[in-house]
Amino acid sequence: MSQITEQIHSSQIGDILENALRGIRPTKSDILRLLRSDDVHLMGMVAGNLTQKRFGKKASFVNNIILNYTNVCVTDCKFCAFYRSPGDAESYTLSLDQIETRVKTAWDMFAIRQVLIQGGHNPNLGIEYYEDAFRMIRTKFPQVGVHGLSASEIDMISRIEKTSTKEVLSRLKDAGLQSVPGAGAEILVDSVKDVISPKKISSADWIRIMDEAHSIGLPASATMMYGHVESHEDVAEHFDKIIKLQEKTRGFMAFIPWNFEPNNTLMQKENLVTYGVGGMQLLKMIAMSRIIFDGLINHVQSSWLTNGVGMAQIAMQYGADDFGGTLIGEEVVSCTGARSTELTGQKIIDAIHQIGYAAEERDNFYNLVKMH
């Protein structure tokens, strides 16, 4: 620690980092100073120290699949290469039998503990489609957690059903939904959303739907997609909104920062973003996430999907404690051509062991399944 202390004393962000080590959370202006600083290595040393104090030298992961149940979408987000318009020759929607087959295969082969269910904003799917799918999974595969539907998908269902988002959440919970992924947040600033996803829900609606989920006992993840048209001020605002909601509800289990991949997207075609931001920015966002959320949101996830296993290993030493999931069957990021590889639990265990950490297999709620 003495070496870290000396470096902190001579750093322009030293006061923020010293406070973090003492358990004092950065203010919004502190967050802006961190964003403007290039002292990523020092942030990482402090964030790594906070993480090891909380978790020791271990990293968790979940054996899961992503069920991209439909690519039909009317939201036309400029950062997405996955969606197809209704009636497109490449559009699809999985039947209940197809969903059951995928879950059964994954359970039989990998003993998965979670199904991450996400798709397009499909105007042809009423709430019964989701209720039937969730009920089937929870009945036939009781050890598999249902982690499903972004806030914007919930909003879409509520508009189709002409009912409130809270009613949709309540019905889905009764059918077997257990937690809500953080997708659809992107950057929680409407001037950014107006550029990258003008037809998607507003920042206030995302926060409201997450608040509603937490209020009825549905925990969630919070995410941030960075590296496109956002400013430092926008990122600070995003962090601030997540902090305020978490202080109110304590409903977020994990925070997941991930970088935008422009390949095959409208944003690339329109020259809004020509290339991704790369590994150093990932490490900075991971370190900042730990420093900002330490003691408030327990888990910070390293994103191997867009950055590769090697970067995810480094991220574990920069403040992440969770490797994420195996993500078998993932189709959304794959459409950008940026997908690293399809991982198995064993590959993640090996990657964790390579950095000298113990590997903790977890369930949907971050409970221990077994140590490896």
Q: How far apart are CA 144 and CA 176, in angstroms?
A: 11
Residue 12: what pLDDT?
93
Backbone angles phi, psi at 71, to 5 degrees: -105, 5
Annotated binding site for (3R)-3-methyl-D-ornithine: 150, 303
CB 240 within 8 A of CB 301: no
Name the range with the highest mean pLDDT among 191-195, 198-202, 318-322. 318-322
- Does residue 339 surpass a pLDDT of 50? no
Average pLDDT over residues 280-284: 92
- Helix, coil or strand: residue 64: strand
Annotated binding site for S-adenosyl-L-methionine: 79, 186
- Does residue 341 surpass a pLDDT of 70? no
- Does residue 351 surpass a pLDDT of 90? yes
Domain spans of the chain, in order of start = 2-371
- Helix, coil or strand: residue 260: coil
CB 272 within 8 A of CB 227: no
Span 205-259, pLDDT tens digits: 999 999 999 999 999 999 999 888 899 999 999 999 999 999 999 999 999 998 8
Contacts of 83 (CB under 8 A, 6+ apart): 71, 72, 73, 75, 76, 77, 120
Of all residues in the chain, the percent with pLDDT exceeding 70 is 89
Token pair for 325: 């999931």
Residue 76: what pLDDT?
60
Token pair for 270: 């329109």
- Does residue 159 surpass a pLDDT of 70? yes
The burial of 282, by beta-carbon neighbours within 10 Å (0-12 exposed, 13-18 middle, 19 or more buried), is given as buried
The burial of 29, by beta-carbon neighbours within 10 Å (0-12 exposed, 13-18 middle, 19 or more buried), is given as exposed
Average pLDDT over residues 113-142: 94
- Helix, coil or strand: residue 239: helix
**Would you state the CATH architecture of domain 2-371?**
Alpha-Beta Barrel (3.20)
- Does residue 265 surpass a pLDDT of 80? no
Q: Is the model more confident about 1 or about 304?
A: 304
Of all residues in the chain, the percent with pLDDT exceeding 90 is 69
Alpha helices in the chain (DSSP H): 2-9, 14-21, 28-36, 40-55, 96-110, 127-140, 151-161, 165-175, 190-196, 203-215, 232-249, 266-269, 279-293, 304-307, 309-316, 345-354
121-130, 276-285, 287-296, range with the lowest pLDDT: 276-285
The burial of 162, by beta-carbon neighbours within 10 Å (0-12 exposed, 13-18 middle, 19 or more buried), is given as exposed
Average pLDDT over residues 28-49: 97
Query: pTM value?
Result: 0.91
Annotated binding site: 73, 77, 79-80, 150, 186, 303
Annotated binding site for [4Fe-4S] cluster: 73, 77, 80
Average pLDDT over residues 291-317: 91
Give me the count of residues in the chain.
372
Residue 332: what pLDDT?
44
- pLDDT band for position 307 (50/70/90)? confident
Q: Is the model more confident about 282 or about 279?
A: 282
Q: What is the DSSP string of 169-189?
A: HHHHHHHT--BB--TT-SSS-
Span 312-323, pLDDT tens digits: 999 999 999 999
CB 85 within 8 A of CB 122: no
Span 71-108, pLDDT tens digits: 888 766 555 656 677 777 778 889 999 999 999 999 99
CA 104 to chain CA centroid, Å, is: 25
Q: How far apart are CA 196 and CA 8, in angstroms?
A: 37
Neighbouring CB atoms inside 10 A of 35's CB total 17
The mean pLDDT of the chain is 89
Residue 271: what pLDDT?
67
Token pair for 327: 């993500």
DSSP symbol at 335:
G
- pLDDT band for position 274 (50/70/90)? low
